[in-house]
Structure 1
């Protein structure tokens, strides 16, 4: 059995509108000025920054920040939500040969709601969020849970995501990680990021069908 683990936001679905609006809603309630959507999304995945400090001028995510974020996001996470071009076709093409799972640093309850809304939740055997493990990505907890749950050998698994948090989580779990460049981050070619779903299909074929 082979497994492909997908990050969700910025990889499978474009949820940037809701994420940026939620960040700005929290900032507004904290008396901070709004930020540009692209600026928010480019920095949301940056592993080198303290997100609480960067976005909200706090050392940690306070209960107030968490409550504001969850309240707004829960009501608006389906607004302007889209599947990235080619993703549904990829899932259809490979569904008989793979166990597909989601590993997202979002709350898994919202993840299920969003994937269900887009009618693609049926493709994923498990949907794990930060709330389902002790530590989110770049820690390997989610990956390890999924490998153990379905008794998948590490060489038979791959993680696909648009953040270095994803590829580091894959590395920390001992599986292949693929970085994609159609999401929220903007990588140069030196990082080897894939620019299209077609390139991802080729990578999958190379790893799993050429051995």
Structure 2
């Protein structure tokens, strides 16, 4: 395969942001801490858990309380999100990914989740078998928006930047793609709004997963 579509996970393939906010709140409750404002928690989606909890708790990333919060988050993740993963798929995702594979496009996931959590979520949603590669934040030293994750995926798949497209719902995804020399599709149905996404300079904008497919087919058939 000489072409690749790289996808973010939460807010791009799976409509999980609301459940993620609930999971953060459950972690805080387990620690006896007050729940953070939902909008503040939602704003951290797309960041590695260490950074998200650090920001929300106002403590350094290596603080022991951050590690404790992540442990509670992972417990809640298994109890809250995984059981309903299939029902949270955005319309057209399952069929769209299969269509891309049928077209000979290599598929990968680049997520700020830990790799084990990402794999578990994809498995629960019935999508894991569609992807050639899943890369999480724990597999790189510099997560999004640094280009390292995108570069690792392209190197592993043997696909040059000009034949790869990143699809995501946050500016972190778009900025990573740009830094790695890739084009990008910013989806408007996820975490970041149109204005914020536009400020990061995506190559295309998509309002639905069907629109994503249209962009990818145009981009990858022209190479």
TM-score, normalization by structure 1? 0.87
* Residue 150 of structure 1: aligned partner: 157
Offset of 1:43 from its aligned partner? 4.4
Q: Which moved more, 1:180-189 or 1:168-177?
A: 180-189
Provide, for residues 171-199 of structure 1, a one-character-per-residue CA deviation record: whole Å limited to 9, x for no partner: 11111121111112222398163211122
| 2:40 and 2:56 in contact (8 A); partners too | no
Please give the alpha-carbon distance, in whole angstroms, between the structure 2 residues aligned to 1:141 and 1:54: 23
Listed as ranges, the matches of 1:61-76 within 5 Å are: 62-74=63-75, 75-76=78-79
Cα 1:160–1:136 shift into 2, 3 Å:
same
Provide, for residues 131-160 of structure 1, a one-character-per-residue CA deviation record: whole Å limited to 9, x for no partner: 111111111111111111121111100000
Cα 1:36–1:64 shift into 2, 3 Å:
closer
| 1:182 and 1:196 in contact (8 A); partners too | yes
Q: Which runs of 5+ in 2 are unaligned?
A: 199-203
* Residue 14 of structure 1: aligned partner: 15
* Residue 201 of structure 2: aligned partner: none
Q: Which runs of 5+ in 1 are unaligned?
A: none
- 2:184 aligned with 1:180: no
Residues paired across the two proteins, number: 209
Q: Which moved more, 1:76-85 or 1:24-33?
A: 24-33
- 2:175 aligned with 1:193: no
Of residues 77, 82, 90, the one that matches 1:78 is 82
Please give the alpha-carbon distance, in whole angstroms, between the structure 2 residues aligned to 1:141 and 1:44: 19
Please give the alpha-carbon distance, in whole angstroms, between the structure 1 residues aligned to 2:55 and 2:73: 20
| 1:41 and 1:185 in contact (8 A); partners too | no
Please give the alpha-carbon distance, in whole angstroms, between the structure 1 residues aligned to 2:61 and 2:69: 14
Cα 1:40–1:134 shift into 2, 3 Å:
same
Q: Which moved more, 1:8-17 or 1:97-106?
A: 8-17
| 1:194 and 1:200 in contact (8 A); partners too | yes
RMSD, aligned α-carbons: 2.4
| 1:147 and 1:154 in contact (8 A); partners too | yes
Greater helix content: 2
Cα 1:135–1:208 shift into 2, 3 Å:
same
| 1:137 and 1:165 in contact (8 A); partners too | yes
Q: Which moved more, 1:162-171 or 1:22-31?
A: 22-31
